[in-house]
Amino acid sequence: MLWVTRHEPHVDRCASIWLIKNFIDKEAVFEFISRESEIPEGATAFTLPKAELKPSKTQTTFDMLVERYNVQDPGVLEIGRILRDFEIDADEDIEKVKLKESAGVSFILRGLARTSKTDHEIIYKAMIVMDALYAQLKTRFGE
């Protein structure tokens, strides 16, 4: 399936792409477009003005994907909590986060845009970060 989102993915979009590839659509293909671009026919769009899936005042895109696709994995739910702390509760202000993981994860994922030449390179690196975060969180749940 083709999924489309905005250029320069940051925290919520990087984590959402990781979620899609690992729990929703292992064969997913991603395209990055501008806010003004038309959504390609048949694509599932997220975090774009005309997309059905976009963050709200109470939910990240990651939250919406977890809910829509009924992902119940404890590690994924914990990642959702970490993202929500930064994206929603702290309004993307590192100084306001309550969870120590939120600050670290957001710094790293945002920094990927500064160390990558393309959107696909950002995602390649983000997948490694998210896999490591997920693996570490799974130890909290005895897995």
Can you give the residue range of the structural domain that contains 116? 2-140
Distances (CA, A) of 104 to 90, 109, 119, 127: 14, 9, 21, 16
Percent of the chain surpassing pLDDT 90: 95
pTM of the model: 0.95
Mean pLDDT of the chain: 95
Domain count, the chain: 1
Q: How confident is the model at residue 140, as a pLDDT? A: 86
Give the residue-averaged pLDDT of 29-41. 96
State how far Cα 87 lies from the chain centre: 10
What does the pLDDT look like over 73-115, one tens digit per residue?
Answer: 999 999 999 999 999 999 999 899 999 999 999 999 999 999 9
d(CA 56, CA 68) in angstroms, rounded, equals 15
- What does the pLDDT read at residue 109? 96
Contact 112, 14 (CB under 8 A): yes
Question: How far lies 20's CA from each of 45, 57, 93, 101, 120, in Å?
Answer: 12, 22, 26, 21, 15
